Structure 1
């Protein structure tokens, strides 16, 4: 699965827990749990209390 490969490849160098990093944005919005960009943005904001 492409999503799993992306996460495995980038988790070493990226801080997915800092909402201000490009890696975190990509992980949670582009590669989020749904195929809906809008829903992933909503979930991202909820996760980081934004």
Structure 2
């Protein structure tokens, strides 16, 4: 996958992904959509490995 595509996909989710331990993440699925949020979390988890 192209890095530009990953960045474009994750950009709207970054504030929530960076604050995962906070209550901010609770409303993330409402802001960006449930499906996008779940995909973003999966990609983020793989990038942190």
Same fold (TM over 0.5): no
TM-score, normalised to structure 1's length? 0.35
TM-score, normalised to structure 2's length? 0.35
Structure with bigger RCO (C-alpha 8 Å, 6+ apart) = 2
Higher fraction of helix: 2
